[in-house]
């Protein structure tokens, strides 16, 4: 869903996983939820909301490097950081600039 830019639907699916998770991956899902909402804000013309959620989601996800639950967290954070670097003048939403979630083939989840 997320990689198809269905950010709201991705948020909903991730929230369902987050609510069911009682393990150390709980904050991993919380970070991904915030990523989806950051992209939703950016796509709807709210760059300050996107930047705020970028900062908090990045803090959650950085503890799960290099990978978690089949997601290449390291590659994702590198692309995510590149998108938000120097957002003094936020760019208009460009789908091709959205960082991709790269899941391993045998990943349990591929939201």
Q: What is the pTM of this model?
A: 0.92
pLDDT tens by residue, 10-41: 999 999 999 999 899 999 999 999 999 999 99
Average pLDDT across the chain, whole number: 92
Burial 75-111 (b: 16+ CB within 10 A, else e): bbbeebeebbeeeeeeeebeeeebbebbbeeebeeeb
- Integer Cα distance of 94 and 71 in angstroms: 23
Share of the chain above pLDDT 90, in %: 82
What are 105's two structure tokens?
Answer: 């083939």
What are 37's two structure tokens?
Answer: 């909402």
- Average pLDDT score over residue span 1-16: 95
What is residue 99's DSSP assignment? P
Q: What is the pLDDT of residue 75?
A: 96
- Average pLDDT score over residue span 34-56: 96
Q: Any idea which fold 2-97 has? A: Hyaluronidase domain-like (1.10.3450)
- Integer Cα distance of 96 and 92 in angstroms: 12
């Amino acid at each position: 869903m997320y990689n198809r830019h269905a950010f709201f639907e991705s948020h909903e699916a991730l929230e369902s996983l987050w609510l069911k998770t009682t393990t150390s991956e709980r904050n991993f899902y919380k970070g991904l939820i915030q990523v989806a909402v950051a992209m939703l804000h950016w796509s709807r013309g709210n760059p300050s909301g996107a930047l705020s959620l970028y900062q908090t989601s990045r803090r959650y996800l950085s503890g799960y490097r290099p990978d978690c639950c089949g997601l290449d967290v390291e590659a994702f954070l590198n692309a995510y950081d590149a998108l938000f670097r120097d957002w003094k003048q936020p760019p208009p939403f460009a789908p091709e600039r959205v960082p991709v979630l790269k899941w391993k083939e045998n990943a349990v989840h591929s939201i």
